[in-house]
Structure 1
Amino acid sequence: MGLAERRKALGYSQEQFAHELGVDRTTVGRWERGETLPQPPLRPNLAEVLQVDLAELNALMTPAQDALQESSGPPPSDHHGPGELDDMIRREFLRAIAVTGALAALPVDDAAALADGVQRGSSTDFRRMNEHLWQVYQLARTKGTVYPIVRDQLTALNKRLTSRSNAEARQLCSAAGDLFQLAGELAFDGNRYTDAAASYTLAASASKDAGSFDLWACALVRHAYVDVYERRYKAATDVLSAAEKIAKRGDSSLSTRHWVASVQAEAYAGLGHLTDCERALDEAERVQDLGAPGHNGGWLRFDGSRLAEERGARYVQLGRLDLAEKALKAALKQGALAEGQSFRRRGAVLTDLAAIGAKRRDPDQLITYGHQALQLARESSSGYVARRLQGLRAEFGPLARDGRVTSLGAEIGALSTT
């Protein structure tokens, strides 16, 4: 018996199995096809999920390991070296990040000017293009429609960096740091965590070279988010600690440091640290003391408008269900009155309310909110909402014997997380 057979015998789909381990579904596929082997730090958790000891796990991996040794020498670990990673990012992202119809949505004169500006390599035009791309990305109901179409934009940035003055080079690095963050957002929403983390790393590097502390800190926050969603909460707190220090060197009129605190709260909740979580949430809420908007609507969008739902979600993580439900219902009502609330945000609130029903062993609450979140996931094709719902299935517990809950689980299982 191999890894795939053991997984199937325990009733896991690849998506469920990947979720349990905190890895991408594609990573599980590579293990099972014998293309890579799990890294040593992952193996104790892998053995636990498969309900075997480490010796039995090694036996399960023997066919894949033998095949790898015969075909290509020593087995590779599931890790990308710098050169391989750079090549992957170039294939997936570096050539361009944009939106279908982005230029067509602009006035003809503006569209032509932006296209010409990109070809010339003007840092001002790159920044203007980035601003439009963020706007279209945020407004897109289906994130899958957002994909690379502006060929060689980042390649052009790299070329211009070698021939411009130091001042212009810093501005171009800032544009690249901005664009790499958007690349990461596209990957993250598509459940491609490795690609997202790589893009955020490049964004942080470019932002550091640009001397843009707020842009740099935001790249680190997004990188930490990957760790949070893969349940590496301690790793996330380490990255966020660095982001916090960098944000303090930035513009105090911006909301960067408050966004750092908001994500720190999520990491602390994952670690079970109630006091630290509430302290971070309180710091995040101080964003409301800023006189100006405090954000640019692009790579920095934190304005405190979702703090009610964030607090509710953190209380769910910490098991404080009464506090969580009160905050989440307030967020749901507030979102229904607000214009332009994203499917992603509303789906997350509905999923958390369904999770509260599961924890309380209340099938009616679980089904009511679960179906609403499921409908949003279908309408938006959001990988994020789909992932949240996949996680909800792990909360079913004894309610899984209820036929209605079983049906909901089957519908969730049919969702694509990519």
Structure 2
Amino acid sequence: MGLAERRRTLGYSQEKLAELVAVDRTTVGRWERGAIQPQPPQRRRLALALEVSLPELDALLLPPQVASGKAIGHQSAQSHDAGDPDEMIRREFLRILTISGALTILPVEEAEALVDGVRRGEAADFARMNGHLWQVYQLARSKGSVYPVVRDQLATLTHALAGHRGSPRPLLNAAADLFQLAGEVAFDGSRYADAAASYTLAASVSKDADAHDLWACALVRHAYVDMSGCRYQRAAQMLGAAARLAERGDSQLSTRHWVASVQAEAFAGLGDLDACERAMDQAERVRDLPGDHISGGWLRFDGARLVEERGSRYVQLGRLDLAEQALQEALGQTALASGPSYRRRAAVLVDLAAIGAKRRDPDQVVAYGAEALGLARTSGSGYVARRLRSLCDELGPLRGDRRVAELEAAIGVLNTQ
């Protein structure tokens, strides 16, 4: 069903719909032909008038060739080339902003200006667009919803690199940044091979650009793929390489401290308490850095989550009293955090539930596990789902408790996007 069909289903003429949305009748006609797209404030009024949600409105606004089955996220190379890539990127970028509720991040006029700069191959505009995409990714409930525009941005960046004259380093930096975001989207969706491939590409491009901090961060993200499969020794080796690269990077950035915080997780997985605590202490020194020490995109480590990370490491090491003290403090912090923090709060809840499992306390398991399950359903996060499934491995004899068994069953059928 398209926009015009939905309008007729409700018994509206173009004039009536235009009156409801406070636009001219010709504007409605252009929307229905796909000549232009509604601006964000108009989208909300249009969705209300048509009695649909914003995502449903986006489906109604799809061009005819897309609505007939060639969805943007699944187009072939031939269908991608057949359209106007600049218009598609603009439309997709605005669509992602609308879906994620992140409209306050970027005014429409600035989005249009950015797309124009991207079309011209301006490295600075690629970098700014990437920064906005990272913000959208952080705010989006469904991380996979960001993928289509990331893919199209990569295609446009590749085209810009092919025709670029002069030093390619700024564009290579933008490519390394974007490959890391593509990897994050894949990792959250539990597509580990795709994530590893993206991180490998990010590392390779960073090396070509001689960008040590970007390179180190790509290796850190790759190490998470290994740790998801409990390959802690391999992860520790990769993180050692990342640490050496970070030492050659910008000392005013937080790269080396992020590397240390992830090394702590690898050491905890290996059962090495002393090495874990040394790494956490190194990560804590991020608080001594002056000014703005994060990129806002590929490097977001500011130490805000160190309390919960320390608690999680103590859970891994079986130091439950130390873990619970840190995690309760972290739980209070996530309750006060501004904006969505589903993954962060859910991770703390799963760790507290895991402590209950180790103590054979079904009440604690159910109380914290059920809340984490609710956040997993709300966010559609593959990361939260993985954490919950790891909790199931800890349940043991507690499965005899009806409530625990019901929680495990609900986790078993959890669907994520």
**CA distance in structure 1 between the aligned counterparts of 2:120 and 2:353, rounded to whole angstroms:** 52
Determine if contact 1:347/1:376 at 8 Å carries over to the other structure: yes
Cα offset for 1:157?
2.4
Task: Please list every run of 5 or more consecutive structure 1 residues that lacks an aligned counterpart in the other structure.
Answer: 1-89
Cα offset for 1:152?
4.1
The match for 1:181 is 180
1:246 aligns with 2:245: yes
AA in 1 matched with 2:95 = G
Distance of aligned partners of 1:319 and 1:245 in 2 relative to their CA distance in 1, 3 Å threshold:
same
Determine if contact 1:191/1:417 at 8 Å carries over to the other structure: no
Distance of aligned partners of 1:393 and 1:160 in 2 relative to their CA distance in 1, 3 Å threshold:
same
> What secondary structure does 1:329 align onto?
helix
AA in 1 matched with 2:382 = G
The match for 2:95 is 101
AA in 1 matched with 2:316 = Q
**CA distance in structure 2 between the aligned counterparts of 1:279 and 1:311, rounded to whole angstroms:** 11
**CA distance in structure 1 between the aligned counterparts of 2:256 and 2:403, rounded to whole angstroms:** 44
AA in 2 matched with 1:392 = L
AA in 1 matched with 2:111 = A
The match for 1:291 is 290
Distance of aligned partners of 1:403 and 1:152 in 2 relative to their CA distance in 1, 3 Å threshold:
closer
Cα offset for 1:249?
0.8
Deviations 1:177-210 (A, max 9, x none): 0000110010011010110010011011111111
Distance of aligned partners of 1:294 and 1:318 in 2 relative to their CA distance in 1, 3 Å threshold:
same
Distance of aligned partners of 1:151 and 1:265 in 2 relative to their CA distance in 1, 3 Å threshold:
closer
AA in 2 matched with 1:142 = S
> What secondary structure does 1:292 align onto?
coil
Cα offset for 1:292?
1.4
The match for 2:156 is 156
**CA distance in structure 1 between the aligned counterparts of 2:208 and 2:369, rounded to whole angstroms:** 45
The match for 2:367 is 368
Cα offset for 1:213?
1.1
AA in 2 matched with 1:321 = L
- RMSD, aligned α-carbons: 2.0
The match for 1:276 is 275
Determine if contact 2:96/2:145 at 8 Å carries over to the other structure: no
Give TM-score scaled by structure 2 length.
Answer: 0.74
**CA distance in structure 1 between the aligned counterparts of 2:404 and 2:354, rounded to whole angstroms:** 12
Distance of aligned partners of 1:334 and 1:155 in 2 relative to their CA distance in 1, 3 Å threshold:
closer
Where in structure 2 are the equivalents of 1:62-73 lying within 5 Å? none
Please identify runs of 4+ aligned residues in structure 1 that moved more than 4 A: 95-100
Distance of aligned partners of 1:150 and 1:349 in 2 relative to their CA distance in 1, 3 Å threshold:
closer
Determine if contact 1:143/1:382 at 8 Å carries over to the other structure: yes
AA in 1 matched with 2:266 = A
**CA distance in structure 1 between the aligned counterparts of 2:138 and 2:214, rounded to whole angstroms:** 18
The match for 1:203 is 202
Cα offset for 1:417?
4.5
The match for 1:126 is 126
1:115 aligns with 2:110: no
Where in structure 2 are the equivalents of 1:33-52 lying within 5 Å? none
**CA distance in structure 2 between the aligned counterparts of 1:226 and 1:417, rounded to whole angstroms:** 18
Where in structure 2 are the equivalents of 1:402-413 lying within 5 Å? 402-413=401-412
The match for 1:352 is 351
Cα offset for 1:150?
6.0
Determine if contact 1:117/1:125 at 8 Å carries over to the other structure: yes
Give TM-score scaled by structure 1 length.
Answer: 0.74
> What secondary structure does 2:190 align onto?
coil
Cα offset for 1:247?
0.5
Determine if contact 1:285/1:304 at 8 Å carries over to the other structure: yes
Determine if contact 1:99/1:147 at 8 Å carries over to the other structure: no
Question: Which one has the largest radius of gyration?
Answer: 2
Deviations 1:206-231 (A, max 9, x none): 11111211111111110111111111
Deviations 1:299-334 (A, max 9, x none): 110000000000000000001111100000010012
Cα offset for 1:341?
5.4
Distance of aligned partners of 1:217 and 1:170 in 2 relative to their CA distance in 1, 3 Å threshold:
same
Task: Please list every run of 5 or more consecutive structure 2 residues that lacks an aligned counterpart in the other structure.
Answer: 1-76, 79-84
The match for 1:51 is none
The match for 2:227 is 228
AA in 1 matched with 2:246 = A
The match for 2:146 is 146
> What secondary structure does 1:300 align onto?
coil
Deviations 1:379-404 (A, max 9, x none): 11111111110111110011011111
Cα offset for 1:151?
6.1
Q: How high is the sequence identity, in percent, across the aligned residues? A: 66
> What secondary structure does 1:252 align onto?
coil
Determine if contact 1:100/1:149 at 8 Å carries over to the other structure: no
Cα offset for 1:113?
1.3
The match for 2:385 is 386
Distance of aligned partners of 1:151 and 1:200 in 2 relative to their CA distance in 1, 3 Å threshold:
closer
**CA distance in structure 2 between the aligned counterparts of 1:392 and 1:114, rounded to whole angstroms:** 44
